[in-house]
Amino acid sequence: MSSEKGSEQKKLMVSPAPHLHAKRSTRKIMFLVCLALLLPTTGGVYYFGIYTLFVVLVSVVTCVLTEFAAKMLRKREFVMDGSAVVTGMLLALVLPPRIPLWAVVIGAAFSIAIVKEAFGGLGYNIFNPALAGRAFLSVSFAGPMTNWIAPVSSPMGMDSVTTATPLSESFVNTGSTHELYLDLFLGDIGGCIGETSVLLILIGGIILLATGVIKWRIPGVFIGTVFLLTWLIPGEDPIFHILAGGLFLGAFFMATDYVTAPLTDRGQFIFAAGAGVLVVMIRLYGSMPEGVAYSILLMNAFTPLIDRYARPKPYGYAPPEKLEAKEEGNKDDKPKEERPEQKESKGEKTKGENLEQKESKGEKPRMRS
């Protein structure tokens, strides 16, 4: 009997919450994201040449090495969960095709060391590391970050021709509107390495949706808000605004980051709608032609407030005001307790009434001996 009790006690395990764990680990999620990002990466190499592949590799290697060094300095265990690889790929895909490799190293190191590890590592960063790294490079090195080229004739070639991006004021469309839409959809136009081909980004986003890595709310509301607002503003082309720039890449791969996006459904609606409004405001009324990166970063800053406002209510929850009003109503329904003076006066009054009734009937009141 004692041996059976001992075996039963060994099976009992006590551990802190959470007690329910998902079957898909962080490493598997990052692997699926990397798999989806290979599509726009391939498109970037095809349209802008083999140099873009070196940009992606340098960014990924720098992110991994920086995370390893930061873990060693913080005396923490380094786990190759794939998050640094995703950050490196995303950062490279939002950079110009001919950016110097030294600038890529600086941006990747900033994304991991300052934006991610300085806040505690994976799960503690406030802002999206890849977008924060791009914003840092845009402020620090404006020249290399605004050097755009047209799609090359051969992927193996290194020659390039400078051109304007579709959202810049100097862009001139020499063909028809339908041809422009087709170029924007396929990616045969100037822009960042991985943001030009809406088709490849959309296929990668569908892969993430089909595997359950992301939900439809943020990308759907994000893109829908930009389309609706530009449709309501006179003189703007809503189809052009959703196809041009990095809206699809930001909506499917940046804004859906688990750490920097709200947790609840209502919070994700608010987050995506706010990002869409900011994109339209920056594009149409700001000094920068593109606003996807800054809109997501600004909404990242509001994520804790959104989570607090959009917190789900527990079953049976009632606000304190309703509870106080209910208690006051119950007090009013109860009979009021009489004071001792009122009880005595009421007792004397009833005794006097009884004596009067007996005298009227001719009965003598009994006297106590």
Query: Residue 90: which domain range?
Result: 26-309
Average pLDDT, integer, range 24-29: 84
* Residue 360: per-residue pLDDT: 57
- The reply to whether 161 falls in a domain is yes
Least reliable range by pLDDT among 32-46, 286-300, 342-356: 342-356
Q: Which residues of 189-213 are buried (b: 16+ CB within 10 A; e: fewer)?
A: bbbbbbbbbbbbbbebbebbbeeeb
Decide if 323 is inside a domain: no
How far is Cα 279 from Cα 216, in angstroms, rounded to an integer? 19
- The number of helix segments (H) and strand segments (E) in the chain equals 15, 0
Euclidean distance between CA atoms 308 and 40, whole angstroms: 35
Q: Is the pLDDT of residue 335 over 80?
A: no
Closest CA to 97 of 134, 174, 45: 45
CB 47 within 8 A of CB 151: yes
Q: Which of 42, 72, 63 is nearest to 197 (CA)?
A: 42
Q: Exposed, middle or buried: residue 307 (CB in 10 Å: 0-12, 13-18, 19+)? A: middle
Would you say residue 102 lies in a domain? Answer: yes
| CATH code at position 178 | 1.10.3430
Choose from 80-84, 217-221, 312-316 the range with maximum mean pLDDT.
Answer: 217-221
Q: Is residue 285 part of a domain?
A: yes
Beta-carbon count within 10 A of 236 CB? 14
The whole-number average pLDDT for the span 40-48 is 93
Does 365 have pLDDT greater than 60? no
Q: Is residue 128 part of a domain?
A: yes
Count of the separate structural domains present in the chain? 1
The Cα–Cα gap between 107 and 116 comes to 13
For residue 352, being part of any structural domain is answered with no
- Tell me whether residue 321 is in a domain: no
Q: Is the residue at 276 inside a domain? A: yes
How does 257-276 read in b/e, with b if 16+ C-beta sit within 10 Å?
A: bebbbbeeeebbbbbbbbbb
Distances in Å between the alpha carbon of 157 and those of 65, 95, 161?
30, 19, 12
Task: Tell me the pLDDT tens digit for each residue of 102-117.
Answer: 999 999 999 999 999 9
pLDDT at 35: 94
Mean pLDDT of the chain: 84
